[in-house]
Copies of this chain bind each other. A is one copy, B any other.
Amino acid sequence: MADQDRAAPSPSDTLAIVAGGGSLPFAVADAVLARGRRVAVLALRGFADPARVGGYVHEWGRVAQLGRFRRFARDYGCRDIVFIGTVMRPSLSQVRLDFGALMALPHIIASLRGGDDHLLTTVGRVFEHYGFRVLGAHQVAPEILVPAGALGRHRPAAQDDADIARALTLLHAMGPSDVGQAAVVAGGHVIAVEAAEGTDQMLARVADLRRSGRVPAGRGVLVKAPKPGQDQRFDLPAIGPETVDGVVRAGLAGVAVVAGQTIIAEPQLVVQKADTANVFVAGLQMPPTA
C-alpha cells in the first residue's frame, strides 16, 4: 500500500477518535462530522471530559487497553483511528493492561527506553499490525490547523520577530532530546522552557516571574513548534482559548506557532480573545520538519 493511500482518509467508514483531555478531541470530532463522516469516540477514563463526551457516539475505555479498542472498532465499523487530547504519562501501577495489550507488550517495553516519540510511534505500529490505520488529526480535519499569517487584528512587531527567532533556534536545538515544544522569550532572554509541566503551567510561571520583577522589560512571546522528526500523527503542538488567556496573564505580546503543523481549538474564540486583549496569534510559514 502506497504511503499516499495510507494518508488519504476513507470517509465511508466511521472514524474512531481515542480521546484524551482538553477540547481538541471535540474540535476534531466536530470538524469530521461537518465533513459528513461519522465518528465514534473512545473516551479515556480520567482524561476525556465527561461533560462533553456525552454529545457524541461514545464509549469509555482506559489507556493501554488494546483488546477493548479492537472490540470497540469492530462494533462501530472503524478502520481509521485518531489519537487526540492530553494523556499524562500514567504510572505503571495505574495501567491495567488487557489481553490485547499484553500480547503487544514486548514491542511497548522495547519502546519505553526512548522518549515519547518512540513510545507513540510504537503504539502506532502495534495498531497497524492489527489492520488499523492511524491518522493525524490534521489528516482527517485539515481545517483545525493554524494557517499562515496573523489570525486576528494584531501582528508581531519587529522586537517580537527577534524573540520568535530566538525561541525557534532554542526549540530546534532541544529537539534531539525529545523535549520542549514551547518556550517564552522576552527582550532576547529565554524566560521559560516547557518540559513535563505543559504550556499552561509554564505560562503561569512566567506570570509569577513577571509579578516578582524577574522578567526583563519588553513584551515577550510564547512560541510553540513541533519537535524535529516528530511523528506528526501524534502530539502536534496545539493552542486554544486557554493559551491566549495564559499569554495575557503572562503579559506577553502574543503567541507564534508553525503554520500547518499546529492544531487550534475553537479558533473563533481564540481570535476574539486575542483581539480583545491586544495580543497576536501568528502562524509562521516554515519548511516542514521531516
User: B-contacting residues of A (Cβ < 8 Å)?
Assistant: 88-92, 94, 113-116, 166, 169-170, 173-174, 176-180, 183-184, 188-197, 201, 205, 209, 212-217
Contacts and interface: CB of A to CB of B under 8 A. Distances in A.
15 contacts: A89-B214, A90-B213, A91-B213, A91-B217, A113-B188, A115-B188, A115-B190, A116-B189, A170-B174, A174-B193, A183-B195, A192-B195, A192-B197, A193-B193, A196-B215
A123 to B, nearest CB: 16
Contacts of A178: 189-190
Given A166-B177, A174-B173, A197-B205, A88 B213 contact: yes
Contacts of A190: 115, 177-180, 195-196
B197 A195 contact: no
Contacts of A116: 189
Contacts of A209: 196-197
A180 B179 CA distance: 14
A264 B91 CA distance: 35
How many copies, total? Answer: 2
Contact of A91 (B177, B184, B216): B216
B188 A196 contact: no
Nearest to A116: B189
A197 B207 CA distance: 11
A176 B267 CA distance: 35
